[in-house]
Structure 1
Amino acid sequence: MAEEENYANPLLCFFHVLFKGAAIAFYILFSLFVDSFVIIFVVTVLLAALDFWVVKNVSGRKLVGLRWWNEINEQGESIWRFESLDQDSLARMNTKDSWLFWWTLYLNAAIWLALGIVSLIKFNIDYLLVVGVCLTLGIANIVGFTKCRKDAKKQVQNFASRTFASHVSSTLQSAFNAV
């Protein structure tokens, strides 16, 4: 009988979900019961910013072994930078942690998108600004981590290709030296 895998980082998983849920819950509940756009804007954006920071700098590293950032060079061009664990370490990452990381990242953006549609339908343009900020932060993490994951896979493929080419080259060289 197969043993069920547990979360390797349950506390971190909790906080990974907490800030997302807190921002969404605060936005929805206070929009229903309190008529203060400023409080809703400040607290919701603060919670979304905390979520952005935690995901980008902590949970991304610990739950999926990835980290990204963006720099602007002297010419004003945007440069994406990626870090990932080595392939062996990535292969050992906890699948439940990874699953939670990716699903909550996408689910968070989907919920904010739905809330944006509701704001449009209700003609709450002010609240659309809150949703726009939160959705932008969520999408930035989705784009950053997706690019980072693709870059990590590309590095593994390049390493495998170089290793294979080196092996073939040394095998051929040995064969010709023997003749």
Structure 2
Amino acid sequence: MDPNLQVVEENYANPKTCFFHVLFKSAALAFYILSALFVSNFVIIFVITVFLSALDFWVVKNVSGRILVGLRWWNEINDQGESVWKFESLDQESLARMNKKDSWLFWWTLYLTAVAWVFLGIFSLIRFQADYVLAIGVCLSLSIANIVGFTKCRKDAKKQLQAFASKTIASRVSSTLQSAFSIV
């Protein structure tokens, strides 16, 4: 091996966004877990835990999702009263240049947070604390909403990429055929 050869290690492109992405997730989980040691009032635990989880939901949906993976989703009700999912993604060139570590951190923390809430819910059920299951249910619902929204958004972005690629290939084949027949 060449001793002068340096291994280029990719760093986080958006360390502040990554920090806050993880901070809000861990704040809600940490407060819920540690609150039993310091606070005896369930209402305070419920309100603060749900508030921190709602902050995490908003940050992921509106800030870190856009910056770390280039995706954004929302849900609207149309004139017929039906729920319609809306998706936004960066152009394909920009998506291809997204930082792999940022993307990895985004997706793994998104899923691990939901898994942590499930485990906490199981422990609350085992301890027969139905009121705490309610708080966990709200937090888990917010986590799952982000998982579903971003997963659908990623699938929509892949469909757009495939449609763009097939349209580009078709136009190139068409232009090549036109130029080949115009020479003759």
Shorter-normalised TM-score: what interval? over 0.9
Match of 1:169 in 2: 174
CA distance in 1, matches of 2:8, 2:182: 52
Q: Does 1:90 align with 2:110?
A: no
Give the deviation of 1:172 after TM superposition: 2.0
> What amino acid is the match of 1:135?
L
Match of 1:57 in 2: 62
Q: CA-atom RMSD, angstroms?
A: 1.1
Match of 1:36 in 2: 41
Q: Aligned to 1:75, what secondary structure does the other structure show? A: coil
Q: Aligned to 2:84, what secondary structure does the other structure show? A: strand
* TM-score, with structure 2 as normaliser: 0.94
Instruction: Encode CA deviations 1:16-57: one digit per residue, 9 max, x unaligned.
Output: 001110101111111244221100000000000000000000
Match of 1:149 in 2: 154
Q: Does 1:22 align with 2:47?
A: no
2:10 to 5, 15, 18: 5
CA distance in 1, matches of 2:102, 2:168: 31
CA distance in 1, matches of 2:166, 2:36: 55
Aligned residues: 179
CA distance in 1, matches of 2:97, 2:182: 41
* TM-score, with structure 1 as normaliser: 0.96
CA distance in 2, matches of 1:2, 1:157: 34
Q: Which runs of 4+ in 1 moved over 6 A?
A: none
1:46 to 42, 51, 67: 51
2:76 to 46, 49, 71: 71
Give the deviation of 1:122 after TM superposition: 1.1
- Structure 2, unmatched stretches of 5+, are 1-5
Q: Does 1:140 align with 2:145?
A: yes
